[in-house]
Amino acid sequence: FCLFPAVAMPTVSRVAVCGGTHGNELAGIYLVREMLKKRADGTEPVSVVTVMSNPRAAQLCVRYVETDLNRCFTRAALRPLPRTSPYEMIRSQELNALLGAQRSVDLLCDLHNTTANTGLCLITYSDRDWICLHICKHLQREMASTPVRYVHFDIPLNEAYSLDSVGKHGFAMEIGPQPHGVVRSVIFSAMQEGVQLMMDWICQFNSGTLFEGGWVDVYTMVKNIDYPRDSETHMISAAVHPDLQDRDFCLLHPGDPMFLCFSGETLRYRGKEALYPFFINEGAYYEKGVALSLARKRRVQIPSVL
């Protein structure tokens, strides 16, 4: 066990808040529209750029027009493209030019909603990004109504595929449950509060406040599980079991019910290790063959920062 010394880190001067990366995740879309109404008066201590990531999809209230924008930020996808490429492939390059590339923002917060009962998650590619971890700790301390969790996708940064990966620091702020194409007031308010608390933390941090270190629970994604499917038609043959539905981040033990077949049969979790399910029955993942994801939880020690 070791106590880290306080780490001095550069200020977070340029922040991007993005919504509508998926055009039917409405809390982020309406929040960005609200933020765009309030013109900057030039006296803010932090420069915030507010972006509607996929305006065409938002206009149509669909996740995407041609391909999932939030899979278009890999190094490979950001190479020069023919003009005839899908809309989202071109849009990801525009967004990378605006927010990433040479003029990378210090922090990119990308707003998302899920049909799963996740509460608020900060989803990142790093389990040692002290800025993201401290913001998470701040939200956990300050948000009374919503559970806040830190999710880590353990992927090399050059394979990172999502918009938040183009900032120097970045995360998806994912809040659920909310149906796609619907805005629920409590979800909108939680997102608004989450963004405000993030900005408060950044302003305090930039003005020299020391934030004490401590521990944060990190959920590292281990694997995805698909729906059971008919061997001939490949159509799904079961729904998430009622005992598992809406139990995101509740430990799933070997033998626990996982699916209830349309024919009535219960299928159980056959893994050897108890793990934490999340994104349980997320609507947009049917087409990706993901009924839920499973994570391992561990406590990560973070240093004091200033």
Kindly list the catalytic residues: 174
Taking the C-alpha atoms of residue 236 and residue 217, their distance in angstroms, rounded to an integer, is: 34
Pick from 166, 175, 211: nearest CA to 51: 166
Closer Cβ to its own copies, 164 or 174, answer by number: 174
The shares of helix, strand and coil residues in the chain, as percent rounded to the nearest 5, are: 25, 25, 45
Binding mask 17-56 for its own copies (x = CB under 8 A): -------------xx-xx----------------------
Binding segment toward its own copies, per CB under 8 A, in 132-140, 146-154, 155-163, 259-267: 259-267
Residue 74, class by beta-carbon neighbours within 10 Å (0-12 exposed, 13-18 middle, 19+ buried)? middle
**Smallest Cα–Cα separation from 139: which of 206, 50, 217?**
217
- Contact region with its own copies (CB under 8 A), list: 46-54, 93-101, 238-246, 269-277: 238-246
Smaller CB distance to its own copies: residue 88 or 129?
88
Residue 251 and residue 275 in contact, taking contact as beta carbons nearer than 8 Å: yes
263 is a site residue for its own copies (CB under 8 A): yes
Instruction: Write out the two tokens for 257.
Output: 């019910």
Task: Please name the helix (run of DSSP H) or strand (run of DSSP E) that holds residue 88, with its range, or none.
Answer: helix 87-99
- Give min distance, CB of 262 to its own copies, in A: 5
CB-nearer residue toward its own copies: 156 or 264: 264
Identify which of residues 179 and 214 has a Cβ nearer to its own copies in the complex.
179
Question: 9, 46, 48, 61: which one contacts its own copies (CB under 8 A)?
Answer: 61
Q: Using CB under 8 A, which of 56, 168, 184, 268 touches its own copies?
A: 184
Which residues 6+ apart lie within 8 Å of 106 measured at CB? 10, 11, 12, 13, 14, 15, 167, 168, 169
Sign of CA dihedral 277, 281, 287, 289: positive
Residues tagged in the binding site annotation: 22, 25, 112
Binding-site residues for Zn(2+) sit at 22, 25, 112
Residues 109-148 binding its own copies (CB under 8 A) are 115
- Verify binding: residue 179, its own copies, rule CB under 8 A: yes
Distance CA 203, CA 15 (A): 11
In the list 218, 260, 275, 302, the residue contacting its own copies (rule: CB under 8 A) is: 260
Q: Binding residue for its own copies (CB under 8 A) from 284, 292, 295, 305?
A: 284
The residues with which 109 forms a beta bridge, in sequence order, are: 17, 171
Binding site for its own copies (CB under 8 A): 30-31, 33-34, 61, 115, 177, 179-186, 188-189, 235-236, 239-242, 245, 260, 262-263, 281, 283-284, 286-287
